[in-house]
Every structure is written in C-alpha cells, then in structure tokens.
Amino acid sequence: MTIRRWWLRALVPLVPLVLWAAVLQLAPCAAATADVAPVFLVRIQGAIGPATAAEIKRSLERAAREHAQLVVLQMDTPGGLDVAMRSIVQDILASPVPVAGYVAPSGARAASAGTYILYACQVAAMAPATNLGAATPVEIGMPDMGGGKAPATPPSGAASAPAKHDDTMAAKRVNDASAYIRSLAQLRGRDVAWAEQAVRESVSLAATEALTRKVIDLIATDPADLLHQLDGRALSAFNGAGSVKLDTAHAAIIVVEPDWRARLLSVISDPGLALMLMMIGVYGLLFEFMNPGYIAPGVIGGVALLLALWALQMLPINYAGMALILLGIAFFVAEAFMPTYGALGLGGVAAFGFGALLLIDSDVPGFGVPPSLIAGLALVSAAFVIVLGRMTLKARARPVRTGLQRFVGATAEVIEFGGGEGWAMVDGERWRISAAQALQPGQLVRIARAEGFTLEVNAAAPTPSTGASPG
C-alpha cells in the first residue's frame, strides 16, 4: 500500500509536463490548419434546374469572397435542363476558385447534364461504383410517339416534309451538344472521342472505365480521400494566367448548405407543385369573390398564385399548354358566375387536363407533371363543377326571398280601391295594387304578379286573418 502511494506521488509532478508536450506537438498542426485556405463542398442532388444553377452561382461567389482554395461539386443527378446546365458551366469556367467535380457517393451517377458539368471542372473524380454519360439532348416539346427513332424508310407524299423537319431539328440539337462537350473536353484535356460518343450514342461509363479512358482524373472513396489525392496538385487559373497549387491535406471542409431562398425555390420549382399552387390560388380567389368577407381564402389564394407564377416563369413552359389551363380556369369562373348546369365546367375540366399534359415543354427526368397528379386535379375540378351545379339547381328551386317577386302568391288586405287601382296592406306595408275586377276595402286578395312598384291582384276567398301573410 505504501509503495503505490509513493508511485502516485512521483507521477503527479509529471502530468503538467506531459500536457505541455502534447500542446507543443499539436500546436504546429493547428497553426498549419488555420493558415490553409478552406475547401467548399457543394452537393448537387436530383434534377438540375434553375434552383441548382442559382445555388452553385451563389456558392462559387462565396468561395471567391472567402478565399477558398477549391470548390468540390459532389453530384448525384439524372440530368436536367439545358439552360440551367449551361449557366452552371459558365459559372465554373469563370470562377477564380478551381472547381472539382466529384460523382459520389457510391451508387451515384452524373448522367446527361451532369456529364457536361463534370467535363467543365478542372478536376473530374468519381467514387467507386458510380457512372456517367448518356448525354444525348432530350427532345423539347411533345414526346416522340414513335419512341424517338427515325422510321426505317422515309415516308412519301405530304408526310415526308414534317418527318424531314423533325430529323433536321434533332440533328441540330445533337450537333450543338456534341460541339459543346467537345470544346469542354479539349479545354480540360480529356477524352474527346468518348465525349462525342456520349452525346451521339448515349453511352455511359463506370468509374474504373472512365479512369482508364482518361475521362476522369481519379477515383476517390470519399471527400477526405479526394482532398488527400489532390494535395500538391497544380491547377490552371480560370483566365489561363499561371496556376494554383493545392494544399488540401489539412484543409478544413466547409459544407455549403442552401439558404432559405434556395430551398424555397427548389421546392416550388417542381412542376407538379407549381401546378397545384396555381390551382389552389385560383380556387381560393374564386371562393373569395363568390363569398366576400372570408379574407383567408383570398389571402391564401393570392400567395399561392404568386408563388406558382414565380416557379413557372423559371421552367420550360409550353405556351399552348398554359393557354389551355387559363382557358379552363376561365370556364370555371364563368360556371360559377353564369351557371350553365355544368357545360362550361366540363369544358374547363377538359381544357385543364390537356393543358396540364402539355404544360412542361421538356421530357427531362424530374421536370414533368405526373399523370396521376393531373388526373387528381382534374377530378377535383370536376367535383367542384358538379357541386356548383347542384347548388345552382337547388338555389333556383327555392322560393324567392328577396325583391318584389317574394310577394307573388301572398295574400293582402285591400285598404281602398277604385277605377281598377287602389292600395292594400302587404306584410305590414302599404302597396299600390291593380285588379281587373272591383274590390272592396277589407277584402282579401291574392297577389298574382309584381310589375314595377304595382302589385296585380285577384280576389281571394276570405279568411279569418286580419293581415297579409306571405305564401
């Protein structure tokens, strides 16, 4: 027991020395990390659209302001819109901070637009078990009913001109995309032949094959492995003047998260949600106009409609589809204020359905309106028209409660009468009356018609009632 206490007393003075040695050992590493410029990590997930382009632009500008040494675009995308992709490529080429494209995690892909973006980056990397390619531009407009293939033999007669026009337009799109990706491959010194093949033949490559063909520069298991492999590599500046040597071994990784505006834009730029917001806005405003004073439906409808218009103005809209949707909405409004027992309403449902099918002018994955959503909205609109029609029929079947017409069928008591005209007490009020036969004061009469401010009456059987009562 005494020996143990002696050892403890001997070790206590050594504890501060051990801690001091640890601090001295870690201080150089901490100082080195603090002096190393950070690396920004930006994730691209899902279809590439206006929200993605805006987020990448914002991230590259922030990286330049904060003097980052590298921006890593971690991608997992099926493709996206051509306009958004070209905007991203332009921002990458103009960025003063080098950009590395990284297809990750394992199982991810950089298809279609993602392939162009990867070719535009100074460094192209992939995680194991990933792929890229299939960069053929998708036809804009109505889906190709023939499956996208040209007929085996050209048609003859009047049909040959439209077919030739379609083939010419498809060739123009493919040639333009092919030249674009070739220029990116030449700029970054990558495989030009495969790049053109990816556009013209829609071929894809796995990560190991892409590395073998020099389509990418390296394979990395995770972002940390990517930065370790890039440490010490020199990358050319965006304007071609000199190069930048990376020091990424101990660099801090800053994950750039989208701000609230980017999140909102990403959510509402979904075509299906934009269409739903538009219909909510229309129904909310329509309900408010039909029932003034409720306030909430009008406020919700106005906000929803403005958000829908904000989203739709950034999407590839087919104006014929939008016109059909607006025509359908106009029919709904007309049905509400000028009931036609469902004729205009059903026409509005049909116009809305066809318009929703044509609304998005692109077959890019992730940018279409699901047919199930269109069917659901069309059924809701049809139910709205049916309910409105039934309410209209019930309203017309009810007796009139306002205006002069409410007196038709009621009884009145004659106050005075002479020369075919006189006065009678109707529901506690004096009214001018007219009749074809002579009437006596105190006689009960029944009102047959109301014209102007005169009630036409007929003699009625006497009743014990002393006043008029509505029928």
Report how far residue 362's alpha carbon sits from residue 435's, in angstroms, rounded to the nearest whole number: 73
Give 210 or 51, the one with higher predicted confidence.
Answer: 210
User: pLDDT category, 36, cuts 50, 70, 90?
Assistant: confident
Token match 């026009």: residue? 165
Please state which of the ranges 242-251, 312-321, 436-445 shows the lowest mean pLDDT: 312-321
Q: CB of 284 within 8 A of CB of 297?
A: yes
Q: Residue 220: which of 129, 133, 132, 134 has the closest Cα?
A: 129
What is 404-459's CATH topology?
A: OB fold (Dihydrolipoamide Acetyltransferase, E2P) (2.40.50)
Q: Mean of the pLDDT values across residues 125-147?
A: 70
Q: Mean of the pLDDT values across residues 442-454?
A: 83
Q: How does DSSP classify residue 360?
A: B
Q: Residue 328: which of 404, 367, 275 has the closest Cα?
A: 275
Q: Which residues contact 79 (CB under 8 A, 6 or more apart)?
A: 47, 48, 111, 112, 113, 114, 134, 138, 364, 365, 366
* Max CA distance (Å), the chain: 139
CATH number assigned to the domain with residue range 36-143+169-261, chosen from the 4 options 3.30.450.20, 1.10.3720.10, 1.10.10.10, 3.90.226.10:
3.90.226.10
User: pLDDT category, 395, cuts 50, 70, 90?
Assistant: low
Q: Is the pTM of this model over 0.75?
A: no
User: pLDDT category, 218, cuts 50, 70, 90?
Assistant: very high
Tokens standing for residue 411: 């009884």
Domain ranges in the chain are 36-143+169-261, 270-397, 404-459
Neighbours of 7 (CB within 10 A): 9
